[in-house]
């Protein structure tokens, strides 16, 4: 990204490379800083390092960021950290970048939603199925049609859930860096590690769904460049690919973060849900938000054990289930956060707060649990279908 430019006096490239005597595989990769200009002993810029831009990639989206093809020919680099520990050093940056990619997709979801909402209020087409709504016009605004509302609310719910998750992760990171209790710092770091692949994959998958839905609200106009909606679809598509594809995130979540520690961190997430259930379990107004999350939390324990047991017998079972599993886990986290948002909204409304913000939160949460959350049942069923139907397909893929 922006591998060559004249906006700064120097450019610093982080390069993964192998030392001559390095072990084979990923365990033999080191990390180096390779500058565009070498640095003199007094800190001034020295000779040009032989690292050059040989071209620019022609991409589907994110045209505002130039992706450069870089060639290195005997350049001088400085090792970062220890020899053969380059991947570990790089992943400090990668994990932060994965949270950032989730934020990037979240921003695209939000701006696509805002544009689609404004368009749906203004564009008139057909009459409402339940009767005329705009008597002074030749047709009703398309926002009166159920499926248009479904597309808008899908984007709104995924934006609000994603924003809540990012804020939750930011709070955890504050605890990692600043909490006086070492145990709290360690537990917060474990939770961030668990949530990072969910932030990266679930939010960006939802961003793809949402930007496409918002473009669809525009109908034929959405397919025309000058309306701007197709750019959000194109720009979001990379978020599912870079900083580790979403399939890799799924394997990381299920294989390393959950099965790798026998579900210990997942159980801590379960305790957060259990605490909320304990606080609000007798509150009838919270039942519609609490019950689905509590039920899925219980199902996740059995679901995880089942996939883990099958994976011990055949590792392909983990690979076949991972993407569906991450999406179920994402809904579990979103469901917990929507329940917490509903908890606050109900409390504020009961206290006499008439700000429509809180009523909107409840309506969005109700839509989420009614129309989006139920896909977890299908996802668990397809994950349980196993790997055989995928791997025994040589004839189909010939």
Angle at which helices 287-313 and 316-350 pack, to 10 degrees?
170
Catalytic, out of 110, 160, 230, 243: 243
Q: Which two tokens stand for residue 129?
A: 């199925």
Spatial distance between the Cα atoms of 375 and 246, rounded to a whole number of angstroms = 18
Q: Which two tokens stand for residue 1?
A: 């990204």
Spatial distance between the Cα atoms of 357 and 342, rounded to a whole number of angstroms = 11
The answer to whether residues 322 and 260 touch, using CB atoms and an 8 Å cutoff, is no
**Which position has the token pair 């770091």?**
189
Tell me if residue 132 falls in helix, strand or coil.
coil
Annotated catalytic residue 243: yes
Q: Which two tokens stand for residue 172?
A: 């955890």
Q: 52 pairs with which residues across the strands?
A: 71
The whole-angstrom distance between residue 29's C-alpha and the CA centroid of its chain comes to 28
Spatial distance between the Cα atoms of 252 and 336, rounded to a whole number of angstroms = 22
Active site residues: 243
């Amino acid at each position: 990204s922006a591998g060559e430019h004249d906006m700064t006096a120097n450019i610093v490239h982080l390069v993964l490379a192998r030392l001559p005597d390095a072990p084979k595989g990923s365990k033999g990769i080191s990390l180096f800083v390779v500058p565009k200009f070498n640095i003199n002993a007094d800190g001034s810029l020295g000779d040009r390092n032989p690292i050059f831009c040989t071209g620019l990639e022609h991409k589907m989206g994110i045209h505002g960021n130039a992706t450069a093809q870089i060639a290195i020919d005997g350049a001088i680099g400085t090792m970062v950290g220890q020899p053969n520990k380059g991947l570990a050093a790089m992943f400090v940056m990668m994990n932060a970048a994965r949270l950032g990619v989730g934020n990037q997709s979240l921003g695209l979801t939000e701006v696509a939603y805002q544009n689609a909402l404004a368009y749906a209020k203004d564009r008139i087409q057909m009459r409402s199925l339940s009767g005329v709504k705009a008597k002074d016009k030749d047709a009703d605004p398309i926002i009166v049609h159920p499926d248009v509302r479904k597309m808008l609310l899908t984007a709104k719910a995924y934006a609000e859930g994603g924003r809540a998750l990012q804020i939750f992760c930011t709070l955890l990171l504050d605890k990692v860096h600043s909490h006086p209790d070492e145990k709290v710092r360690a537990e917060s770091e474990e939770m961030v590690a668990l949530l990072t692949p969910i932030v990266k994959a679930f939010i960006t998958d939802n961003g793809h769904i949402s930007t496409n839905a918002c473009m669809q609200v525009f109908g034929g106009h959405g397919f025309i460049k000058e309306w701007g909606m197709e750019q959000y679809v194109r720009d979001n598509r990379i978020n599912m690919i870079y900083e580790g594809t979403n399939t890799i995130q799924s394997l990381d979540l299920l294989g390393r973060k959950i099965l790798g520690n026998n579900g210990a961190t997942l159980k801590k997430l379960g305790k957060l849900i259990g605490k909320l259930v304990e606080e609000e379990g007798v509150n009838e107004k919270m039942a519609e938000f609490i019950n689905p999350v509590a039920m899925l939390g219980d199902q996740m324990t059995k679901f995880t054990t089942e996939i883990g047991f099958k994976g011990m017998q055949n590792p392909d079972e983990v690979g076949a289930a991972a993407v569906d599993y991450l999406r179920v886990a994402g809904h579990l986290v979103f469901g917990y956060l929507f329940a917490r948002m509903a908890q606050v909204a109900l409390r504020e409304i009961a206290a006499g707060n008439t700000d429509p913000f809180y009523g909107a939160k409840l309506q969005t949460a109700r839509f989420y649990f009614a129309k989006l959350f139920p896909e977890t049942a299908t996802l668990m069923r397809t994950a349980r279908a196993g790997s055989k139907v995928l791997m025994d397909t040589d004839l189909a893929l010939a």
